[in-house]
Chains A and B, each alone.
Chain A
Amino acid sequence: DQQVKQNSPSLSVQEGRISILNCDYTNSMFDYFLWYKKYPAEGPTFLISISSIKDKNEDGRFTVFLNKSAKHLSLHIVPSQPGDSAVYFCAAHLYNTDKLIFGTGTRLQVFP
């Protein structure tokens, strides 16, 4: 049972344009959500998070939106840069546990 889903395995965006990565979840017991970025041969690195009581969090070029009624979150990158090319994982924290539940990832390619 995939509780966190990233339905787009890949996304290609031109440099300077907006990248939108999507994530859907099914469990109402998630209390916050995170995005991680992963380069080849490296571990995931934390990018941005959002509490389940908020609907938006912004950090520089990165903004995460949460729609609780739709159980959907998205990561916006504006403007996209070639260095943003990586695999992006959506993750959800299960309330009262130490567990992060990850999606399957979206490979973002930003081309010049």
Chain B
Amino acid sequence: DAGVTQSPTHLIKTRGQQVTLRCSPKSGHDTVSWYQQALGQGPQFIFQYYEEEERQRGNFPDRFSGHQFPNYSSELNVNALLLGDSALYLCASSLGPGATNEKLFFGSGTQLSVL
């Protein structure tokens, strides 16, 4: 039973570029949440996708956008990259958006470096 898988594992971009990160949820899960973990900080909630729609959003600018596909996989897009976007991006999946968060399973993350 595959857990949450994210790709790529590492990525280097330059300021102003755009990036797309991908996530496949754990088998049987239909909800995907994205978190940003900056160095020395805890993960910060970006947004959650369920039924191909963004349900809730954290305090992130519109440069951060996402998508969920019919197979429940998800993408996180970041436009006009800033140095401050350098972070570990974590994807988490669950069964249903209302699932208690102890049922949240995280992937290993994508480490994004913006130069």
A residues adjacent to B (C-beta < 8 A): 4, 6, 32, 34, 36, 41-46, 49, 89, 91, 93, 97-105
In the complex, A4 Cα to B43 Cα: how many Å?
Answer: 12
Do A32 and B106 touch (CB < 8 A)?
no
Q: Kindly report which residue of chain A lies nearest to residue B55, judged by CB atoms.
A: A98
Check B101–A4 contact: CB distance below 8 A. Answer: no
A43-B109, A46-B102, A98-B45 known; 8 new pairs, CB 8 Å cut-off, are: A32-B100, A42-B108, A44-B43, A46-B103, A46-B105, A89-B43, A98-B55, A98-B97
Q: Using A41-B108, A98-B55 as known contacts, say yes or no to A91 and B100 having CB atoms under 8 A apart.
A: no
7 examples of A-B residue contacts, CB within 8 angstroms:
A44-B90, A46-B105, A49-B100, A89-B42, A102-B43, A103-B42, A104-B41
B6 closest partner in A (C-beta)? A43
How many contacting A-B pairs (Cβ < 8 A)? 59
Contact with A along B84-105 (1 / 0, CB 8 A): 0000001010000110111111
B105: chain A residues at CB < 8 Å are 43, 46
Out of A45, A97, A102, which one reaches B44, CB within 8 Å? A102
A101/B4 in contact, CB under 8 A: no
The smallest C-beta distance from B5 to any residue of chain A, in angstroms, reads 10
Complex Cα gap A93–B98 (Å): 12
B58 at the interface (CB under 8 A from A): yes
A97, B42: Cβ atoms closer than 8 Å: no
Contact A97 B41 (CB under 8 A): no
> Which residues on B sit within 8 Å (CB–CB) of A41?
108
Evaluate contact between A34 and B106: CB separation under 8 angstroms.
no
Question: Which one, A4, A32, A46, contacts B104 given CB within 8 A?
Answer: A46
Q: Mark B42-67, 1 if CB is under 8 A from A, else 0.
A: 11110010000001101000000000
Q: Bound state CA distance, A102 and B96, in angstroms?
A: 21
Contact among B40, B56, B102, B106 for A98, CB-based, below 8 A: B56
